């Protein structure tokens, strides 16, 4: 049995999928691999995601320690930027492998 952030998982793969699984988490991590992005920049890249879903997924990734949320409140309007934490950067090889596998599936026409 594996435990992470108070949740129990039956195996290491279920723990991994519990942290990065779902429709949007890997997409967020993919876009943050190369650059720090503002909320609206992420939203523009992620066509089809609702504001509520994006907000919830960002919050969950932040709670799990994968992304940083930095708020610049010095002058209106409020500016919020997201970036990978050092822990989040450990997912880069995994996210790249998932992306490469997806590309190969498309190339094969499966």
Range of the domain at 103: 22-108
Residue 102, in any domain of the structure: yes
Burial of 66 from C-beta contacts in 10 A (0-12 / 13-18 / 19+): buried
Assigned domain for 15 exists? no
79 backbone dihedrals φ, ψ, rounded to 5° = -120, 130
Tell me, what CATH number does 43's domain have? 1.10.10.10
Q: Please report whether residue 8 resides in a domain.
A: no
Asked, for residue 43, whether it belongs to a domain, the answer is yes
What pLDDT shows up at residue 72?
87
Domains identified in the chain, total number: 1
Write down the mean pLDDT value for the chain.
92
Which pLDDT tens digit goes with each residue over 21-69? 989 999 999 999 999 999 999 999 999 999 999 999 999 999 999 999 9
């Amino acid at each position: 049995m594996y435990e992470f952030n108070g949740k129990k998982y039956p195996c290491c793969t279920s723990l991994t999928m519990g942290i990065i699984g779902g429709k949007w988490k890997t997409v967020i991590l993919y876009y943050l691999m190369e650059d720090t992005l503002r909320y609206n920049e992420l939203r523009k890249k992620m066509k089809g995601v609702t504001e509520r879903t994006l907000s919830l997924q960002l919050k969950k990734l932040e709670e799990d320690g994968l992304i940083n949320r930095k708020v610049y409140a010095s002058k209106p309007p409020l500016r919020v930027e997201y970036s990978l934490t050092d822990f989040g950067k450990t997912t880069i090889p995994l996210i790249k492998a998932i992306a490469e596998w997806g590309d190969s599936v498309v190339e094969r026409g499966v």
